[in-house]
Amino acid sequence: MSSRPKATVALRAIALSGCVSVLMALGACGSTTPAATHPPKSTPTAKASEMTTDNPYAYLPKVPSFTVVSSTVMDGQPLPAAQLSGVFGAPGGKDISPELSWSGFPAATKSFVVTMYDPEAPTGSGFWHWVVADIPATSTSLPEDAGALDSKALPKAAVQLGGDAGMHRYIGGAPPAGSGVHDYYITVTALDVAKSGLGANASGAFLGFNIAGHTIARATLVCPTSAS
């Protein structure tokens, strides 16, 4: 038998009774486990800079891809000197648009748009180097230098916009010295309409806005290039 004083036994009985009351209250709330004394660990989230991308098509509705190839430029490789801009002073630049050929686009395609865009240009809005709209669905290639001023090599129905240089022609890449690598996106966009409905004085961005709802597929070559 224990020789503990009755008062001590009584106090322990009261404490035990209190614990039982707490457990019963927790049970009424659907839990018999006391609340954690430390906040739960949160899952680490990516930094905002890690969640962004320079891909100009990243936030547009996703569409199928098809194949675009070139005998002039290569995906993942810098633009050759001839495809750089002599107009903007790039060494060796000749402002000659690349040869392009494409295939595997949807049967519902009624026209194409061909563009070259630099999202890293130091403008706050990128730079449209080349914009050609209303290329008929029967055309599946453009020869080298089709982007010349007053070009005769473009399909008759095609419209060559002025781009951000304000010139209705291909303007080659011209990354400013010290600005790092610029990713030049050369893109063929397949549309479900035969005409964009815009004239040659429309901007590349306005064309993009107008064709967004008619884009059914897209093919792109990316040429990362820095100043020499």
Look up residue 146 and give its two tokens: 């089709």
pLDDT per position as a tens digit, 53-75: 589 999 899 999 999 999 999 99
pLDDT per position as a tens digit, 88-127: 999 999 999 999 999 999 999 999 999 999 999 999 999 9
HSE-up of residue 33 (Cα within 13 Å, Cβ side): 3
pLDDT per position as a tens digit, 163-178: 999 999 999 999 999 9
Look up residue 167 and give its two tokens: 């010139």
Return d(Cα 24, Cα 66) in angstroms, integer.
65
Mean of all residue pLDDT scores within the chain: 84
- Specify the higher pLDDT residue, 60 or 48: 60
Res. 15: pLDDT tops 80: no
Q: Which residues are CB-neighbours of 60 under 8 A, at least 6 positions away? A: 212, 215
DSSP one-letter string for 113-176: EEEEEETTSTTTT-EEEEEEEEEETT--EE-TTTTSTT-SSS-TT-EE--TTTT-SS---B-PP
Return d(Cα 153, Cα 137) in angstroms, integer.
16
Res. 43: pLDDT tops 60: no
Res. 33: pLDDT tops 50: no
Quote the pLDDT of residue 53. 57
pLDDT per position as a tens digit, 181-198: 999 999 999 999 999 999
Quote the pLDDT of residue 228. 77
Q: Once rounded to an integer, what is the mean pLDDT over residues 140-160? A: 97
Quote the pLDDT of residue 59. 87
Quote the pLDDT of residue 68. 98
Residues in the chain: 228
